[in-house]
Structure 1
Amino acid sequence: MLVLTSLLPVVLILAPPVLGLPRYEVSGGQVVARSLASKVVIPAGTPAEKVSLGRLSKQVGSNMPGYTVGHFRSERGELAVYGNGSRTGLLFGTQPPTFLTPADPETLLIVWKKGDAATFRPRGVPLRENIWPLLLLLPLSLAVGSLLISRPRLSYEIHGDTLTVKTRASSTDFLRQSTKASVTSDPLGVRLFGTGMPGYHTGTFSTRLGNVQAAASSARPEQALLLEHAGKRYYLTPSDPAAVEAWFGG
């Protein structure tokens, strides 16, 4: 899910032209304007006029070249826009008014008033205007997606009399004879230095008992293992903290 979220900006750029959006479907005396996330139905007999707007200020939605959809402010007040960024189009007297930018507005009006059926779209935008946002967002999205796919892991391994804790950046050995262990139900507090992401919390964190060096898979586990070693306190989250505490001798 996190990977899909990181790629969402790329999807939003590619999806409208692939799906043919925005689109205006005329049938049975009404116009249905569609976008990726919404639609508006314009009934028969709704007042309509050709207009040229001076400005469109986005309140919510998209103002990408070729896909200008959402709620915008204009000199006509708030508008529901389903267009390609053009300021010239058809304004329908819905609530709020709906602004469309079909490539052939005259034909759309004729088909609509006759009660015939046809589908219309805005005039296409040159590829070079659509490709620049994609080129800017693609490396970032791929980098975030790669980071999430290769999310670092923690490991706790016991070999002989040594517990070895490995993170992405370090490996620490805890000798059984020189380490004091206890179990706590206190969560990690504020991250002072290090990394905090789902399933991976490393670095210096505060707790009710003071600062700890964390190598934990959760910031709020039911139980965690505290180790005191070489003058520092460590916060770990093995699957069975009590069993590891007993292995250290309680």
Structure 2
Amino acid sequence: MTEIFPTGLDFLDTQFGGFPPGLVILYENAGAGGREFAITSMFNNADKIKIKYLSISKPVDVVKKELETAIPERGVVPDIEVISLADVYFKDTLVPLKWVSDKGVGIELLKGEKNLFTKLVEFFEGLESSTYVFLDSLTDLARVAVNRLGWENFVDLLKGIRVYCIRNGILLTTLLTSEVFEKGKEEEMLDQADGIVVFEWSVEKDAIERWMYFRKFLGLLPKIEKERIVKYSVRIDPVIGFTISRIMRVL
């Protein structure tokens, strides 16, 4: 069983080895680099560990097109398994299912025998140990949970998924966009995670500056703080993707 999953970024893997099994939330200002971090991590780990990309609201073909353009000058895109829940995500919305469905409108879908959360549980129960999972939008999952599951039940589900991942040697990383939910709900989601990696951006001297830092990480924060690292300046390179360009230390 894999005890540590490499991040795929040499600087971070040299510094602390990687991420242990559990739930890691990539908490980002929209466009600040969280998605690019996840994609670069998957690309660089594709030939080392089992990886599954779980999309909440995007069909498989859309995800694959996004992966092809994410790092435009990289060359060959690794073959990453993509699973989509778009069918059940859009089932009770105004969006025509033929717009978003990979399989067409089947009898099972029309009968509503399975909902998004049932499919989510089935997905996790079908995973092997030592699997790296990227769930592309905790934001979308939480939004739909408010209307279909209830907030308290959703938080309980998140707790259960975290425990399941730890017990079965699975790393789940997922994106949460900042300032979509009220502060209390946002903090409750973040509280369920073993690790929180924050991505934020600012405009400095007419240029966009992107920063990354670890707000919370069980077992890893002592190693990071020992190095006196406050945060990392990052950039999105067209050839290698997400990369750390410099670090900010406390002297």
After TM superposition, the score normalised by the length of structure 1 is: 0.22
Higher helix fraction: Structure 1 or Structure 2?
2
Larger relative contact order (CA 8 Å, sep ≥ 6): 2
Higher strand fraction: Structure 1 or Structure 2?
1
Q: Which has the higher Rg, Structure 1 or Structure 2?
A: 1
